[in-house]
């Protein structure tokens, strides 16, 4: 194990882990995805289900994942395999690690394309053409971007290069430093937007949309999306957090660390929602259910009409790109760590191989917004919709379910306790009970209801 720690390095301190895990968690999921899926699923009731999923499933499973990583001290694939063997389980359990790494890779392929939109918007904001823009013309500009596949490919390529560039630098130097300054800055900018939304937007309409409970619009598929998003937004179920856990110092309190990350992530998603929806409701030509373009259409309207909006707009999209960047590096790290550990790759060649493959697959997502927009061989979905649905709503919850079962039922209890040795007995007992019973039952229940009923 000592040699594994040397192979990849460890975080400088508990704070670096918190920053890196927050960097992984806070990303497009919070600022781009959370608002638009909330809009598509009718608001309040969806948000409530999402918050319950974070508290009862996401955070408990996040503790379990970090714990596996820290005990295994290797890439998720090898950590899972060794811990399964240690628990006397058949080899198949090691497959959880594989499923996670594959999910992370699939996510990276489309995540990079969306991050590419943010890169485009940095420059689009800077040239001043959003000044005094209306909702309708902002929408039209976004459509023009989507139809231009060469441009999308260019930004997508740049983003993949940025990602592997950091990961080639290695964990402590590359990843640790990148997140330290950027995360606080992002938060400040969101607060600026929130202030604008309070002053100029229809704040009450946005607030009510997010927080008034209206169950009619919620379906079981919506519940599954809320659950899947709890995994996606906390970077769970795909080894990212497990891989980061492997680099965490043994003495640090795992639960405090994880809860801090979970709260920060949730806070940022809610602030993003509160900044975006008041603008949406105050602007003609944008609907809450606008889909993946919601962020990219609504916020430019806010920036285009606020004093200093040119600068704020540029900075904001720079920060989105950075948030996406610090998440993307954690999507590729588990696969890279595995190739380095077990297949004798150098960090450089592992990054180039995986980066290239993710880039290639990402072309399918690029085309989903133009040439292949009507090509829907995947259960009536475009390739982008399909990859998103498959990973967030099926693979991640399934992986999470298996991890909860593994830690709750199969790992030796002393081993679990040992990783959580700083935690009080009362905390441990409660957490363990949730991981054994509550989280798996909830995830299983949602899967079953999805198969049997649609309307709640
Ligand atoms: N948690 C990230 C977000 O909310 O944008 C997305 C993500 C990053 C998912 C890393 C999974 C992952 F391994
Ligand atoms: Na997130």
Q: Is the CB of 391 under 6 A from ligand 1?
A: no
- Which tokens go with 126? 């800077």
pLDDT of residue 366: 98
Alpha carbon of 85 to ligand 1 centroid (Å): 29
Q: Which residues contact 425 (CB under 8 A, 6 or more apart)?
A: none
Alpha carbon of 129 to ligand 1 centroid (Å): 31
Work out the mean pLDDT of the chain and round it to a whole number: 90
What is the rounded distance in angstroms from the CA atom of residue 293 to the CA atom of residue 113? 13
**Residue 455 reports pLDDT greater than 60:** no
Which of 5, 142, 19 lies closest to 79, judged by CA? 5
Tens-place pLDDT, residues 374-396:
999 999 999 999 999 999 999 99
Residue with tokens 């795992």: 254
**Residue 41 reports pLDDT greater than 90:** yes
Range scoring the smallest mean pLDDT among 252-256, 258-262, 375-379: 252-256
Q: Is the CB of 368 under 6 A from ligand 1?
A: no
pLDDT of residue 264: 93
153 and 125 Cβ atoms separated by less than 8 Å: no
pLDDT of residue 171: 63
pLDDT of residue 125: 93
pLDDT of residue 2: 42
CA separation (Å) from 318 to 117, 181, 260, 308, 310?
11, 13, 25, 16, 12
Rounded mean pLDDT, 113-140: 94
* pTM of the predicted model as reported, rounded to 2 decimal places: 0.93
**Residue 107 reports pLDDT greater than 50:** yes
pLDDT of residue 1: 43
Greatest Cα pair distance in the chain? 65
- Which tokens go with 401? 């379910």
Q: For 294-308, b where at least 16 C-beta lie within 10 A, e where not — what string? A: bbbbbbbbbbbbbee
DSSP annotation of 216 reads: G
DSSP readout, 277-322? HHHHHHSTT--TT-GGGHHHHHHHHHHHTSTTHHHHHHHHHHHHHH
Q: Is the CB of 30 under 6 A from ligand 1?
A: yes
What is the rounded distance in angstroms from the CA atom of residue 198 to the CA atom of residue 37? 22
Tens-place pLDDT, residues 218-233:
999 999 999 999 999 9
Residue with tokens 């009362």: 426
Q: Is the CB of 330 under 6 A from ligand 1?
A: yes
Tens-place pLDDT, residues 308-336:
888 888 988 988 998 999 899 999 989 99
The interface predicted TM-score (ipTM) is: 0.98
Q: Which residues contact 373 (CB under 8 A, 6 or more apart)?
A: 382
CATH architecture of 2-452: Up-down Bundle (1.20)
Alpha carbon of 232 to ligand 2 centroid (Å): 7
Rounded mean pLDDT, 243-264: 88
**Residue 214 reports pLDDT greater than 90:** no
Tens-place pLDDT, residues 53-105:
999 999 999 999 999 999 998 888 999 999 999 999 988 888 898 998 999 99
Mutation probe of ligand 1 site: the residue of 26, 30, 110, 233 with most atoms within 8 A of C-beta: 233
Ligand 2 being an ion, which residues bring their Cβ within 5 A of it? 25, 29-30, 233, 265
In terms of pLDDT, which residue wins out, 17 or 162?
Answer: 162
- What is the band of 3 on the pLDDT scale with cuts at 50, 70, 90? very low
Q: Which residues contact 300 (CB under 8 A, 6 or more apart)?
A: 121, 124, 125, 130, 133, 138, 141, 313
- Which tokens go with 100? 């996670």
- Which tokens go with 297? 């259409």
Smallest-distance ligand from the CA of 399: 1
Smallest-distance ligand from the CA of 115: 1
pLDDT of residue 6: 53
């Amino acid at each position: 194990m000592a040699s594994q720690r040397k192979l990849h390095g460890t975080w400088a301190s508990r704070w670096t882990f918190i920053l890196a895990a927050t960097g992984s968690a806070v990303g497009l999921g919070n600022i781009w995805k959370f608002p638009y899926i909330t809009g598509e699923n009718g608001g309040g009731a969806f948000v409530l289900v999402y918050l319950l999923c974070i508290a009862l499933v996401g955070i408990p499973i996040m503790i379990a994942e970090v714990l596996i990583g820290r005990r295994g001290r290797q890439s998720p694939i090898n950590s899972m395999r060794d811990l399964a063997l240690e628990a006397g389980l058949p080899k198949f359990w090691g497959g959880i690690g594989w499923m996670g790494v594959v999910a992370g890779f699939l996510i990276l392929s489309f995540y990079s394309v969306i991050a590419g939109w943010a890169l485009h918007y940095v420059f689009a904001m800077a040239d001043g053409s959003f000044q005094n823009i209306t909702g309708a013309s902002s929408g039209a500009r976004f459509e023009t971007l989507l139809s231009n596949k060469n441009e999308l490919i260019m930004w997508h390529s740049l983003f993949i290069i940025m990602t592997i560039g950091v990961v080639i630098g290695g964990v402590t130097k590359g990843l640790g430093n990148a997140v330290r300054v950027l995360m606080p800055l992002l938060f400040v900018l969101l607060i600026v937007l929130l202030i604008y939304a309070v002053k100029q937007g229809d704040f009450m309409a946005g607030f009510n949309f997010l927080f008034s409970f209206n169950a009619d619009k919620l379906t079981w598929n919506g519940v599954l999306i809320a659950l899947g998003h709890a995994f996606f937004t906390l970077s769970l179920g795909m080894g990212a957090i497990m891989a980061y856990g492997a680099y965490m110092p043994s003495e640090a309190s795992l639960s405090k660390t994880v809860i801090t990350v979970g709260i920060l992530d949730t806070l940022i998603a809610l602030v993003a929602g509160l900044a975006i929806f008041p603008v949406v409701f105050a602007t003609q030509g944008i609907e809450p259910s606008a889909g993946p373009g919601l962020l990219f259409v609504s916020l430019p309207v806010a920036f285009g009409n606020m004093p200093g909006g040119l600068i704020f707009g540029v900075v904001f999209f720079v920060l989105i790109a950075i948030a996406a960047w610090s998440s993307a590096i954690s999507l590729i790290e588990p696969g890279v760590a595995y190739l380095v550990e077990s297949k004798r790759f150098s960090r450089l060649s592992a990054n180039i191989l995986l980066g290239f493959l993710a880039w290639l697959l990402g072309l399918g997502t690029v085309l989903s917004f133009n040439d292949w927009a009507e090509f829907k061989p995947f259960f009536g979905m475009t390739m982008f919709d399909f990859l998103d649905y498959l990973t967030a709503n099926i693979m991640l919850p399934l992986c999470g379910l298996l991890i909860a079962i593994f830690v709750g039922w199969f790992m030796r209890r002393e081993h679990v306790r040992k990783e959580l040795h700083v935690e009080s007995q009362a905390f441990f007992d409660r957490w363990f009970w949730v991981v054994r019973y509550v989280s798996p039952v909830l995830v299983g229940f949602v899967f079953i209801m999805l198969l049997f009923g649609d309307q709640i």
